[in-house]
Amino acid sequence: MLKKIKNKRLSRKPMIRKQGDYREILVLADLERESLVTSMTTFFPAARLTILVPRLTKAINDHAPYQSYHKSDFNLTGKPKNDKLTEVLSRAYDLVVDLSKTSKMNDSIFSRIQAGFFIGGNASTKAERYDLQIEQQLIDNQNIAELINHLTLLTQHGN
């Protein structure tokens, strides 16, 4: 029997924090990019950064802060069967930044994440779930500085 999945995000309150108060940050990306790591660690020096990226092969060769996933890491119902991926998805994050393009696996992963604040592109199929939507061109151009500028404006005073 299939269970109806309830959208928990609709009943939650977005939590904006001051820049130094972010401890756990998850970034969903399509590729490993050092510029992304540099930008995020510069802006959030006290936070533990995890970047979740898809991989093309089953072989796992992750290195911090990257965690990867493959379609074989999920069972038929979409539940993760990889212990590392399960651990990443079970953490509560202060901030989730979705820089990925639309894919079914990303949608499944995104629905399992718990966070205080979600940021993502306005052209995404998940756009209604984001607390802050950014222009899709900023994601396409890898313009992380603009994303950080928007977040700076919101986090100047916190909650």
Q: Where do we find the tokens 């313009």?
A: 143
DSSP string, the chain: -PPPPP-GGGGPPP----GGG--EEEEE-SS--HHHHHHHHHH-TTSEEEEEEE-SSS-----TTEEEE-GGGB-TTS-B--HHHHHHHHSEESEEEE-PPP-HHHHHHHHH-EES-EEEETTSTTGGG-SEEE-HHHHHTT-HHHHHHHHHHHHSS--
CA distance 18 to 20: 6
- Give domain limits for the chain: 16-155
- Say what the pLDDT of residue 25 is: 93
Would you say the pTM of this structure is higher than 0.75?
yes
d(C-alpha 116, C-alpha 32), whole Å: 24
CB 106 within 8 A of CB 125: no
> Cα–Cα distances in Å, from 75 out to 19, 42, 105?
37, 37, 12
The alpha carbon of 108 is separated from its chain's Cα centroid by a whole number of angstroms, namely 12
Question: Token pair of 91, please?
Answer: 């953490």
| Rounded Cα distance, 117 and 93, in Å | 8
Q: Which CATH superfamily is domain 16-155 in?
A: Glycogen Phosphorylase B; (3.40.50.2000)
Per-residue pLDDT in tens (0 to 9) along the chain, 159 residues:
444 445 554 567 888 888 788 899 998 888 777 777 888 888 888 899 998 888 888 777 777 788 888 888 888 887 888 888 889 999 999 999 888 876 667 777 888 899 999 888 766 667 778 888 877 665 544 567 777 777 778 777 555
